[in-house]
């Protein structure tokens, strides 16, 4: 797989462990203390390599050194996904600015995915700076026009849907899709939106059919939109 790719994977895992601290910490911004790598069971502040859940999984059976409770699966998934997505971005990026664009996109989408699953919210603290960063990096690639149109179209479309459905889809989803447009431009944003909507429909129907969720349960849409955006930017060849 090559030493550089292993290095990129490790970098993704390390940053993923920081994303874990952020995901656990949000929405406690008002407490004054920043995100910290602490055990969700006992509150013990993990030190050094203990902060890397994958390391803990390999060398201390995935348990907190202090209380011995199991580190939640989410911690391991976040690190693993960030590492894998970083390798995909590295393979996919065309030049340094494009690579930075993809890496920053991953670092925004991973926490948005897990926070929306947990809280049914897509924090402004990520989406709003994300729109700005997406426009900036697209400008660096000479694609500012498509990025602005993409952001306005993505945000505008879902803003209208949010108004019409009154709660089925939130304003957070509109800001997320504006961010996706800012990073990917109009065409890729529209493809990612189509994939996200289809995925959401299929999974929603499955969850209803299997009676995992009832008709009145709220299923957050962000994770589907994010999956669409990741597939289009890192996996599917859209030409
Ligand atoms: Zn603990």
Whole-number Å distance, alpha carbon 75 to ligand 1 midpoint, is: 13
Whole-number Å distance, alpha carbon 123 to ligand 1 midpoint, is: 27
- Rounded to an integer, what distance in angstroms lies between the CA atom of residue 52 and that of residue 192? 31
Reported residue count of the chain is 239
Percent of the chain with pLDDT over 90: 72
DSSP per-residue letters across 100-117: HHHHHHHHHHHHHHHHHH
My answer on whether 184 and 203 are in the same domain is yes
Whole-number Å distance, alpha carbon 70 to ligand 1 midpoint, is: 8
Mean pLDDT value across residues 116-145:
96
pLDDT bracket for residue 32 (50, 70, 90): low
Residue where one domain finishes, among candidates 92, 124, 154 = 92
Task: Tell me the sheet residues that pair with 45.
Answer: 38
Whole-number Å distance, alpha carbon 108 to ligand 1 midpoint, is: 27
- Rounded to an integer, what distance in angstroms lies between the CA atom of residue 46 and that of residue 166? 42
My answer on whether 126 and 70 are in the same domain is no
Quick one: pLDDT at residue 239? Answer: 59
Quick one: pLDDT at residue 117? Answer: 94
For residue 237, pLDDT beyond 90:
no
My answer on whether 60 and 149 are in the same domain is no
Whole-number Å distance, alpha carbon 71 to ligand 1 midpoint, is: 8
pLDDT bracket for residue 57 (50, 70, 90): confident
Contacts of 184 (CB under 8 A, 6+ apart): 134, 147, 150, 192, 229, 232, 233
My answer on whether 130 and 171 are in the same domain is yes
Helix, strand, or coil (residue 3): helix
My answer on whether 46 and 27 are in the same domain is yes
Quick one: pLDDT at residue 30? Answer: 59
Q: Which residue has the higher pLDDT, 12 or 238?
A: 12
Task: Tell me the sheet residues that pair with 70.
Answer: 63
Domain that holds residue 175: 95-239
């Amino acid at each position: 797989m090559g030493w550089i790719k292993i290095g990129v994977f490790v970098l993704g895992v390390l940053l993923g462990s920081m994303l874990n601290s952020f995901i656990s910490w949000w929405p406690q911004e008002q407490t004054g203390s920043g995100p910290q790598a602490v055990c969700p069971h006992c509150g013990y502040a993990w030190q050094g390599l203990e902060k890397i859940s994958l390391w803990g999984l390999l060398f201390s059976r995935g348990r907190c050194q202090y209380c011995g409770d199991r580190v939640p699966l989410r911690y391991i998934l976040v690190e693993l996904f960030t590492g894998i997505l970083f390798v995909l971005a590295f393979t996919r990026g065309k030049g340094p600015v494009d690579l930075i664009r993809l890496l920053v996109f991953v670092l925004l989408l991973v926490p948005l995915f897990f926070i929306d699953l947990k809280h049914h919210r897509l924090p402004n603290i990520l989406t709003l700076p994300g729109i700005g960063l997406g426009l900036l990096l697209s400008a660096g690639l000479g694609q500012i026009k498509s990025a602005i149109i993409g952001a306005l179209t993505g945000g505008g479309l879902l803003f209208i849907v949010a108004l019409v459905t009154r709660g089925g889809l939130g304003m957070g989803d509109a800001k997320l899709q504006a961010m996706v447009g800012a990073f990917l431009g109009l065409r890729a944003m529209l493809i990612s939106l189509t994939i996200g909507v289809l995925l959401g429909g299929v999974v929603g129907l499955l969850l209803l059919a299997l009676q995992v969720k009832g008709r009145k349960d709220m299923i957050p849409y962000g994770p589907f939109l994010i999956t669409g955006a990741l597939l289009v930017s890192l996996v599917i060849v859209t030409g």
